[in-house]
Amino acid sequence: MDSINHQMMGYDRAITMFSPDGRLLQVEYAKKTVKQGSTAIGMICSDGVLLVTDKRIVDPLIVTEAIEKIFQIDDHIGATASGIISDARVLIERAQIKAQQHQVTYDSPIDVLTIVKNICDLKQLCTQSGGLRPFGVSILVAGIDTDGPKLFETDPTGIFFQYYAVVIGEGEEEIEEILHKRYKPSISLQDGLKLCVEALKQVLDDKFNAERLDAAYIKTSDKRFAKVDKKELERVLKMSK
């Protein structure tokens, strides 16, 4: 009832307008967009960091290999997203440029936190500027720094959190519960991939298949972003419960 009253009063018509109880309704709507997006999971493992996502194929005529849901920001940093993927692409292209500029200027790879803050600065700007709308996307940023693997979640408000394991998008609550029960920091990349696939399969049920699956990892040993090939994904899916 409260939300209906707020809308009738027009508190959701401008991003710069607070409702009487101190909420920015446009930002809250953007967060709801993320919850309806395709599922994405990030995980810190003993030997690196892992990203797994659901491509959510909506048409059998679509070329599945052409759908990009996991992006490379730098050799040692990757990202995935849930929500409006076109919004994510703009933010990630900005992050790619930032990483390149840092490499040219300082002759060293950029750290993951700097990339995350750069993305969140623009997201936050869009929560306080008239005529703009918030970015309707949450982005998981994963990478290897000098002191090991890092994983961050950024949400539409511009806030970010560092995680050991995190999920965004469809089925977030159910998969989060599975991660709470089964995730351990000592898990390997291979076992982590298996856990993520099993969680997606369990929550998305008969709607899920190998065509919808996408995964990438960065090993601590070589700090190189790499995609998991389709045959390996099919093998892991067959092995999953």
Confidence of residue 129 (pLDDT cuts 50, 70, 90): confident
Q: Which of 8-12, 159-163, 225-229 has the lowest mean pLDDT?
A: 8-12
Give the tens place of pLDDT for each residue, 105-128: 999 999 999 999 999 999 999 999
Mean pLDDT, rounded, of the chain: 92
Residue 99 has pLDDT above 70, yes or no: yes
Residue 5 has pLDDT above 80, yes or no: no
The CATH number for 197's domain is: 3.60.20.10
Q: Are strands 48-54 and 70-74 parallel, antiparallel or unpaired?
A: unpaired
- What average pLDDT does range 146-162 have in this prediction? 96
Residue 9 has pLDDT above 70, yes or no: no
Give the tens place of pLDDT for each residue, 165-221: 999 999 999 999 999 999 999 999 999 999 999 999 999 876 678 888 999 999 999
pLDDT of residue 7: 56
Range of the domain at 133: 2-239
pLDDT of residue 197: 95
Residue 50 has pLDDT above 90, yes or no: yes
Count how many domains the chain has: 1
- What average pLDDT does range 17-24 have in this prediction? 88
pLDDT of residue 32: 94
pLDDT of residue 65: 84
Q: In percent, how much of the chain has pLDDT > 90?
A: 76
Residue 6 has pLDDT above 80, yes or no: no
